[in-house]
Structure 1
Amino acid sequence: MEETEAVGVRRFWERLGLPGLVDVHTHFMPERVLRKVWAYFDALGPLTGGVEWPITYREGEEQRTALLRAFGVRAFSAMLYPHKPGMARWLNGWAADFARRTPDCLYTATLFPEEGGEVYVREALDSGARVFKAHVQVGAYDPADELLDSVWGLIAEAGVPVVIHCGSGPAPGKHTGPEPIARVLARHPRLRLIVAHLGMPEYEDFLALAERHAEVRLDTTMAFTDFGERHAPFPSRALPRLADLGDRVLLGSDFPNIPYPYVHQLHVLERLGLGDAWLRAVCHDNAARLFGL
Structure 2
Amino acid sequence: MISTDVVQAGLDIPECSLVLRYDFVPDSIGTVQARVRARTVGCAYYLITTKDSQNYMKELDNRQCEQDLKEVLETWKGISSDLFKEQVMKKQTSLITEWNESLTKTLITETTMLKNIELIGDVLCRACGYLLGKLSQVRQHGQSYFISDHDFYNRIEEKVSSEPQEYLKTLVTGKALCGSKNCRTELGCIQVLKDYQKISPIYPLKCESIKIKLIEKETGKEQIILKKKWKKMPFTIPLLEIPCTQNNDDIFYDAFDILPSD
Q: Normalising TM by the smaller chain, what interval?
A: under 0.3
Q: Which has the larger radius of gyration?
A: 2
| TM-score between the two structures when normalised by the length of structure 2 | 0.19
Higher strand residue share: 2
Structure with bigger helix share is 1
The one of the two structures with greater contact order (alpha-carbon pairs below 8 A, sep at least 6) is 1
